[in-house]
Amino acid sequence: MKPKLVILFGGPRPEKNTDQALDLVLSGISIEKFDVTRFDLRKMKIHPCTGCYHCAESGRCVFRDDMDLILKAVNEADGVILATPFYFNSVSALTKTMIDRFQVKWTSKFMLKERSAEKSKKGLLLVTAGAIQKKNESDGARLVAELFFKSIRSTFDDFLFIEGTDSQPVSEQLERHSWLRETGERFSEGILAALV
């Protein structure tokens, strides 16, 4: 059985910078060795978390929507790639809406103290930013991702931050292409090595 790789794409614009960077990361992965599931969040119906805490009592979210597919896939994954553009010093609204719905995992794990059969996994965060960022401005996305990966019992192995795409799109940042491919290769090798 092939290891499972889940891709969560939080960009609202297909084939733009985040999508291009993701393609480069994936080009470094021997995809044929994985069972890959990709979720394009812009195409999905995901109700925002309302903070009702139904999940803190029942272990289940009150909403039934496309998030059920994501939760199941992530639960079974060996690796998760989270790809998002950088908006207002954080992840995109599409990405944050999905992450907030992982509250059901957080409450099950830390409030209900449920022992999960969920397997450990490896996580990678890919972020593209239009502007050149000042020191520590990327921390917003990193901190959100850290909690997300913690909630799904994942390590946070790589944080790929590509900035300046307003003036030089990913397609033109040729010096970063090999870095993205190499990171994808290293990430996938880590997943495969963990299963031996």
- CATH number, position 55: 3.40.50.360
Structure confidence by residue, pLDDT tens digits, 135-152: 788 888 999 999 999 989
Q: Collect all residues with Cβ–Cβ distance below 8 Å to 82 and sequence separation of at least 6.
A: 8, 10, 91, 95, 123, 124, 125, 126, 145, 148
Structural domain span for residue 137: 4-194
> Other CB atoms closer than 10 Å to residue 158's CB: what's the count?
17
| Higher-confidence position of 131 and 91 | 91
- When mean pLDDT is compared across 62-71, 84-93, 101-110, the lowest value belongs to 101-110
Per-residue pLDDT for 110 more than 80? no
Which of 23-37, 103-117, 127-141, 162-176 comes out lowest in average pLDDT?
A: 103-117
Cα of first residue to Cα of last residue in the chain, in angstroms, is 12
pLDDT(124) > 80 = yes
Overall domain count for the chain = 1
Report yes or no on whether pTM surpasses 0.85. Answer: yes
